[in-house]
Amino acid sequence: MYDSYQNKGKVIIKKQTDYKISVGLDHKANLVEKARKKELYHKFVVADANLGLPFENESFESVFSNIIYWLNDPVNVFAEIHRVLRSEGTCCVMLPAPNYLEASFYYTYYIKRGKPEKYKFLELIDRGRISDNLKIVKTYGEWRDIITKAGFEIMDCIPHLSKSLIQMWDIGLRPIFPMIKKMTMYLDEKCLMEIKKEWVDLFQKIGEPIIYNEQFHKDEEFCFYCFVLRKR
């Protein structure tokens, strides 16, 4: 949840997967170190995907990414993914739809209305999330054109993350997390773990009914696309 790493942390995994991912890539070394503890990857690379993918042509049978909308140029990113995939290789990517912006209080009340002073406080809620990737939000048709021009065939497109879920996320812990992180520095490890267990238990009790209860998503347009692609 934060760009920091302490070696004393322990990941408790009840059941390991029956497979491993060849390579994990991120531009933050701390996040790579956290991921290393899960023992799900064979190797890691710390690199900025804006500068191209540091892999040889046709290196992989499949690629998964949930960071394309944080990068500067999705056209170049898809070209790079196409380059590193083998013939008939598959790719799964999560991409934001325009409804992602409409679900944001920061965008709807502040950006869309010309940044009125009375809504400036919403910058504290956004904290760079929408403002950093505003330009990457696209319609299905716009994503389809970028994807197909890069040389991919769309095998499936699954909508996910409803407006309700995005808004719950919007007003959740993001504004106060830096203070929560600071408070943990003054708690002993035993106390911290007890609080964390209670926290996880509460969010599971709240989160699962929201995710699986159709009434929270009924008649809503979803805010993200999950594209499953094949290299032509």
Q: Cα dihedral angle (217, 221, 222, 225), rounded to 10 degrees?
A: 140
**Residue 181 lies inside a defined structural domain of this protein:** yes
Predicted TM-score (pTM) of the model is 0.82
Asked if 79 and 71 count as a contact pair (C-beta separation under 8 A), the reply is no
Establish how many alpha carbons lie within 13 A of residue 137's alpha carbon, considering only the half-sphere containing its beta carbon.
17
Domain with 106, as residue range(s), is 48-231
CATH for 182? 3.40.50
Structural domain tally of the chain? 1
**Residue 12 lies inside a defined structural domain of this protein:** no
Asked if 27 and 46 count as a contact pair (C-beta separation under 8 A), the reply is yes
**Residue 11 lies inside a defined structural domain of this protein:** no
Residues comprising the chain, all counted: 232
**Residue 8 lies inside a defined structural domain of this protein:** no
Query: What are residue 56's phi and psi, to 5 degrees?
Result: -70, 160
**Residue 3 lies inside a defined structural domain of this protein:** no
Which runs of consecutive H residues, i.e. helices, occur in 1-153? 29-36, 74-84, 99-102, 105, 122-126, 129-133, 140-149
Establish how many alpha carbons lie within 13 A of residue 31's alpha carbon, considering only the half-sphere containing its beta carbon.
11
Q: What is the pLDDT tens value at each position of the chain, 232 positions in all? A: 567 777 776 777 888 889 999 999 999 999 899 888 888 999 999 999 999 999 999 999 999 999 998 899 999 999 999 999 999 999 999 999 988 888 888 999 999 999 999 999 998 888 877 877 666 889 999 999 999 999 999 999 999 888 888 887 777 777 777 788 888 888 888 888 898 889 889 888 987 887 777 666 666 678 999 999 999 9
